[in-house]
Amino acid sequence: MLKSPKHVHKFRQSFLNDMWKCPEYGRRKHAGLIDEQNNSDFVRGNSVHNSIEAFGLEWLHEDTQMPLATVLELGQRCFDEESADPATKWRNKPEVVLEQVNQRLTVWYEKVLPLLQRPSSVEEKFKILAYEDDVRQIFMTGTADWIEGEAGDPHARIIDWKNPSAKPRDEWMYRRSNLQSIVYTWATGIDRFMLCHLTNGDEPHWIEMGRNAREHQALIDMVVGLAVTLEANLPALPQQWDSWFCAEQWCPAWSDCRGKYITEDIKDLGQPILTISEKEEVSI
């Protein structure tokens, strides 16, 4: 009789990103210890994303393209749904966020859509066994926003919609280490992965990344290491402070982690912890 493995892991691509941003944050989220509050960035991103998804599904299944006016109506409806939670944390006023949704959908329609092919899949989920031995099975899961063509077709590509405030500053970092592109090219067998950033500007911003079998081998090696770490069931993992994410406005674990110590009253203690200044000359 076959023995079932002791550990069965299901890693979403976004979980790998969480571990990358901060292992301790990833651990807490994986263990269900974090209550993530809705915020205006999610409202904006989900409204744009869901409207493009609806457009893509209709194009895929009916071979028709809905007009821009319908896409903007969809954006409004998604915005209403996404912002219905009264606990939503607004980083911008709701009317500004709605305006950003309209502006991004218009840019998408006018400047991105003319560059697209009819998709072969939209928001298709995958769950694939990535690794197995006597001790563990590791499945990887995810959802690709938009795929054109099939594996083996040199023009096939995967496209992912992003909604940041501004275009990324360090493109080379994306090309070097973007995890999503490695996971999705591995899962689909399609080598080309493109990020389309819809920002507050009038032009979309694209980054294309080609991935290959060597990077996929490295990915499997990385997830096995992650599985081994989680199997140890450690009560804490390294805290990644050296990141934009480790701050009150971004990390939902902040107040229960580093933020327990870095509180407002620290400014009253007279310690120079929060002040940094460059000095040309220093006197004793």
Q: Extract the tokens encoding 90.
A: 């607004």
237 binding ligand SF4? (CB under 6 A): no
19 binding ligand SF4? (CB under 6 A): no
106 binding ligand SF4? (CB under 6 A): no
Q: Extract the tokens encoding 30.
A: 């994986």
Q: Identify which of residues 103 and 239 has a Cβ nearer to ligand SF4 in the complex.
A: 239
* Placement of tokens 């990535």 in the chain: 130
Minimum distance, C-beta of residue 253 to ligand SF4, in the bound complex (Å): 4
Minimum distance, C-beta of residue 251 to ligand SF4, in the bound complex (Å): 3
Q: Which one-letter DSSP state was computed for residue 89? A: B
Contact characters 24-53, ligand SF4, x per CB under 6 A:
xx----------------------------
Site for ligand SF4 in 56-75 (CB under 6 A): none
The residues that bridge with 12 in the sheet, in sequence order, are: 141
| Binding segment toward ligand SF4, per CB under 6 A, in 17-25, 97-105, 140-148, 265-273 | 17-25
Minimum distance, C-beta of residue 243 to ligand SF4, in the bound complex (Å): 7
Residues 6+ apart with CB under 8 A from 57: 122, 123
Q: Identify which of residues 77 and 258 has a Cβ nearer to ligand SF4 in the complex.
A: 258
In this chain, which of 22, 98, 144, 198 binds ligand SF4, going by CB under 6 A? 22
158 binding ligand SF4? (CB under 6 A): no
In this chain, which of 241, 263, 266, 273 binds ligand SF4, going by CB under 6 A? 241
Question: How many residues lie near ligand SF4 (CB under 6 A)?
Answer: 13
Q: Extract the tokens encoding 112.
A: 């991105």
Q: Identify which of residues 158 and 253 has a Cβ nearer to ligand SF4 in the complex.
A: 253
In this chain, which of 90, 139, 174, 245 binds ligand SF4, going by CB under 6 A? 245
Q: Choose among 235, 185, 240: nearest CA to 209.
A: 185
Question: CB neighbours (10 Å) of residue 157?
Answer: 21
Site for ligand SF4 in 256-275 (CB under 6 A): 257-258
Residues 6+ apart with CB under 8 A from 149: 117, 120, 155, 156, 157, 190
254 binding ligand SF4? (CB under 6 A): yes
Q: Identify which of residues 209 and 251 has a Cβ nearer to ligand SF4 in the complex.
A: 251
Residue 7 Cα to chain centre, angstroms: 26
Minimum distance, C-beta of residue 125 to ligand SF4, in the bound complex (Å): 28
Taking the C-alpha atoms of residue 204 and residue 108, their distance in angstroms, rounded to an integer, is 7
> Are 240 and 24 a contacting pair, CB within 8 Å?
yes
The dihedrals phi and psi of 145, each to the nearest 5 degrees, come to -60, -50
17 binding ligand SF4? (CB under 6 A): no
Taking the C-alpha atoms of residue 213 and residue 154, their distance in angstroms, rounded to an integer, is 16
Residues 6+ apart with CB under 8 A from 224: 131, 136, 138
* Placement of tokens 């992965």 in the chain: 193
Q: Which residues bind ligand SF4 (CB under 6 A)?
A: 22, 24-25, 239-241, 245-246, 251, 253-254, 257-258
